[in-house]
Amino acid sequence: MMNKVILAGSGYLGEYILEQICDVTDLSVIDVCRTNKTTKGGVINIIRDFDNKNNDLEFMNNGTVIYMAPPSTNSLSDDRINNFLKDISSLIIKKIIYISTSGVYGNCDGKLVDESTPVAPITERAIRRVSAEKQLIAFAKKNKIKLIILRVPGIYGPGRLPLERVRLREPLIKTGESRITNIIHVMDLARICISSVYLETSMEIINVSDGSPLKTTAYYEYIYQATNQKLPEYITFSQALKDYSKKRISFLKESRILNVEKMNMLFPKCIKYSDAKDGIRESLLV
């Protein structure tokens, strides 16, 4: 019997899920996004905009949804997922897998955080993710739907390396002052998403990463090394706060180490790129 999987809000991550999921013979796949796509392997592409109310989502009935759409920015609540949940409220949904962010934990000053750590978002984007998580949990409990929330750090991969910053030789923060961050290769995250379809659980929140936290500066140094370029100058953290863009600074103000013991227990074979150096080199080959 074929199991139906819907990639809702399919974008960068969705492309890599599609790349791997087409080889899974017991799944039929519907790719849902705002634009028309050329698909392969029997994947059906359906155009929907979740910002619109009263979307016809009947095709999701009896399916498992991997929801990847980012929150709307109209308010600090995720109105986009609110629309989506209303539109599927009359359907039978087997499971929702939601791609959230580890940013919901806020700044933890480099401390270890697990799934029981209280959320404390400090950016608007993370506040909206918390809103989405709360809406999903309430919806899943009310409708007795299985729910998996994946709290994901920075995603990198082909086309997702900060090569322009490297090309411009933007200064790096001195290693001793650089914050700890967590990352995951898009292919590894795609494997986790597909494995989540088969995970037997009623409700789980799971931290995911490559399991190798590192300094932000080290991440950039690996890219310089992989591209055979000379390292740029180093500056203090306080100087970076003056020179970097507002968005980049917002990431620098958060520091945490994700405890991924649960991920390793539930998805033991999904992380191929536990060493960012390998993942970066692979990303540059594509």
Ordered per-residue pLDDT tens for the chain, 286 residues: 678 999 999 899 999 999 998 778 788 999 999 888 777 778 999 999 999 999 999 999 999 999 999 999 999 999 999 999 999 999 999 999 999 999 999 999 999 999 999 999 999 999 999 999 999 999 999 999 999 999 999 999 999 999 999 999 999 999 999 999 999 999 999 999 999 999 999 999 999 999 999 999 999 999 999 999 999 999 999 999 999 998 889 888 899 999 999 999 999 999 999 999 999 999 999 7
285, part of any domain: no
Q: Return d(Cα 278, Cα 101) in angstroms, integer.
A: 23
Residue 239 domain-assigned (yes or no):
no
The answer to whether residue 250 sits within a structural domain is: no
Position 231 in a domain: no
- What total of structural domains would you count in the chain? 1
Instruction: Assess if residue 227 is contained within a domain.
Output: no
Q: Residue 74, class by beta-carbon neighbours within 10 Å (0-12 exposed, 13-18 middle, 19+ buried)?
A: exposed
* Contacts with 245 (C-beta within 8 Å, 6 or more apart), sequence order: none
- Contact between 179 and 110 under an 8 Å Cβ cutoff? The reply is yes
Is 278 a domain residue?
Answer: no
Please report, for residues 61, 102, 173, the alpha-carbon distance to residue 209 in angstroms, rounded to integers and kept in the order given: 31, 9, 23
Q: What CATH number has the domain bearing residue 264?
A: 3.40.50.720
In a domain, 95, yes or no: yes
Element (H, E) at 273: none
Q: Domain range spanning residue 71?
A: 3-158+183-211+257-272
Predicted TM-score of the model (pTM): 0.96
Is 171 within the bounds of a domain?
A: no
